[in-house]
A and B are shown apart, each in its own frame.
Chain A
Amino acid sequence: QKEVEQNSGPLSVPEGAIASLNCTYSDRGSQSFFWYRQYSGKSPELIMFIYSNGDKEDGRFTAQLNKASQYVSLLIRDSQPSDSATYLCAVGRSSASKIIFGSGTRLSIRP
């Protein structure tokens, strides 16, 4: 079992709809959860971080964390073609002193 798992996609969503990206993790001691967006050939760019159970909203983005289910998700409302990218989930656990990246989900917003 991978430490951080994401569906590789591609996930195709029509413009204006809600895109839902999911991530599961294996270590119950994980403390911090990050979503990065990466355009092809570019470096990862932080979208959101979340530490506590529940929802955290920032503009069109909402991160959701459920520690009991070991699940974190990212919702993108009113999806735009510019949201087409690979979204990396990253999980931090103190025992490893580092964050672990999932393999990423490729999102495609179709006009």
Chain B
Amino acid sequence: DTEVTQTPKHLVMGMTNKKSLKCEQHMGHRAMYWYKQKAKKPPELMFVYSYEKLSINESVPSRFSPECPNSSLLNLHLHALQPEDSALYLCASSQDGTVTDTQYFGPGTRLTVL
């Protein structure tokens, strides 16, 4: 089973709202990723958790706050977002976070910030 699930599928929020995106995998993978993808652009890495520790933060603004409660779950907490943050947010997981690992993507959350 190579399934990564993400909820919600769609999210519309105002600039003053606080919301969270959720991601779950049951493949026993120990690395999980958040990517942001704008239309007609490639996925852009935001954060990497390896063995439940934050290993990469790609200088993402603090209005995005990741959390990894356990090896199967990954959250992205959103606060005071801007309209330009509207995008497809993708979660991925891989065996242990090495660059030879295959990353498997979830279906994504389509976020619209009004």
0/1 interface trace, chain A 7-45, chain B, CB 8 Å (1 if under): 000000000000000000000000110101000001111
Is there contact, CB below 8 Å, between B102 and A34?
Answer: yes
Pick from B42, B48, B90, B105: contact of A102, CB under 8 Å: B42
- Set of chain B residues within 8 Å of A34, measured between Cβ atoms: 102-103
Which residues on the B side are within 8 Å of A32 (C-beta)? 99-100
The closest CB in chain A to the CB of B2 belongs to A46
Pairwise interchain contact B43-A44, C-beta atoms closer than 8 A: yes
Q: Per-position contact with B for A79-109: 1 when CB-CB < 8 Å, else 0? A: 0000000001000111011110111100000
Which residues of chain B come closer than 8 Å to A71, judged between CB atoms?
Answer: none
Q: How large is the interface on A (under 10, 10 to 19, 20 to 34, 35 or more residues)?
A: 20 to 34
Instruction: Chain B residues near A96: list those with CB within 8 A.
Output: 99
Q: Is the CB of B43 within 8 A of A101?
A: yes
User: A51 contacts the other chain (Cβ, under 8 Å)?
Assistant: yes
Q: Is A49 an interface residue (CB 8 A)?
A: yes
A43, B105: Cβ atoms under 8 Å?
yes
Contact B107 A31 (CB under 8 A): no
The answer to whether the Cβ of B104 comes within 8 Å of any Cβ in the partner chain is yes
Q: Shortest Cβ distance from B60 into chain A, in angstroms?
A: 14
Chain B residue nearest in CB terms to A95: B99
CB-CB under 8 A for A45 and B103, given A88-B42, A97-B56: no
Residues of B within 8 A of A88 (CB): 42-43
Contact of A43 among B56, B90, B97, B99 (CB under 8 A): B90
Least CB distance from A19 to B in Å reads 19
Q: A93-B99, A96-B99 are in contact. List 6 more A-B contacts (CB 8 A).
A: A45-B105, A51-B100, A97-B56, A98-B48, A98-B99, A99-B103
Binding site for A on B (CB under 8 A): 41-43, 45, 48, 55-56, 88, 90, 97-100, 102-108
